[in-house]
Structure 1
């Protein structure tokens, strides 16, 4: 009952509104404005409708793609389990790929070789590898002297040559560490090992570098005792085994 009374009351109020003067109120300009507003509303409504349709298609496409990915994830383990074991064996037997860079690297020059120089002695038959910083080295000849260990014959009974490889920056005012190489005949070295003679006052004998069919080559005992400039460099050179006998 209350709803009907409200409706009737609203109807009475609407009817009580005076009828507008269409000639004065709805002029040509007013009609154009109303027409333009209606067109804008229709255009806006049409765009919203198209946008809703596009979003609906995108949503459907996204859902389809997600369903496909999910199906692929679930189906992949099943397919992997059904693989033929023979196929797997054949795959493992395929030859490994060959890296052409290995051949290229083998043909490249060794930096260690290009950074060194070679001293070769054809008289005694040996070579000695030096760092490139020794380019311009000098070979100096000296003599070693051996004294008999027999107290009754306290005389000189053996001697031989020492070849000294000298650094190019060596000077009398500022000497640098040399690389001395003592040269023994095979018989002399055998006698030295038997302590039939000794060289110098050092309690230890020369250190063997190498030998060939005719000679034995050694470093003097305590050759770097004075700790001259460059002695550490010489030690590093000797650690790399630069001496190679020939013949």
Structure 2
């Protein structure tokens, strides 16, 4: 008999279930882990020489690519959540007396694990390409903490999007803005080099302060202003996503 409280034991079961589903789906693995690596090779080796960022391009681009690695796996989460809601799986769990909240928790935890694996792969490839961060051990700890927080927040927001969607296809499309936003930020070029309109959008959208905070931490020179904005956005995403997900789940489950 498990010594864990029932909700925790159920959540652990859901995590194992979702992990198996992810590992058996090569498209999910590619989009979440391999495609960000392809993007990194393309931006650094193909486009990097055309950008003037005042230093090695791999040093500049790595923080943005970490955020992109998180966002690229979110479509799979939204689709998986919607599948559970629309294909009768939740009703089967009800007959098995499974904790209802564990279903959502399982998706969020697996999303976080997938994001962390993708980020670890990005960092490994960055070092192989000559990445030379100036971060101290404390800076690295702060960067890891921000990545975990962003993964947690994005996980809940994506679960909410998946629950709100009517079909699996629309759930995948609902996550597209989260995938595209890093392209319209300071991930690949400084925002002050962009044209009017795009520059203002890049400066005030959620991912730019998160990327700039990661960039500062990894360079050993974090900005308190960017850090506060980054934390505020992450906490806001988490609170909105959690509240929206729980409310929608209670109505539909």
Whether TM-score is above 0.5 comes out as: no
- What TM-score do the two structures reach when normalised by structure 1? 0.23
Q: Highest Rg: 1 or 2? A: 1
> Which structure: greater strand fraction?
1
For CA contacts below 8 A with separation 6 or more, give which structure has more relative contact order: 2
- What TM-score do the two structures reach when normalised by structure 2? 0.23
> Which structure: greater helix fraction?
2
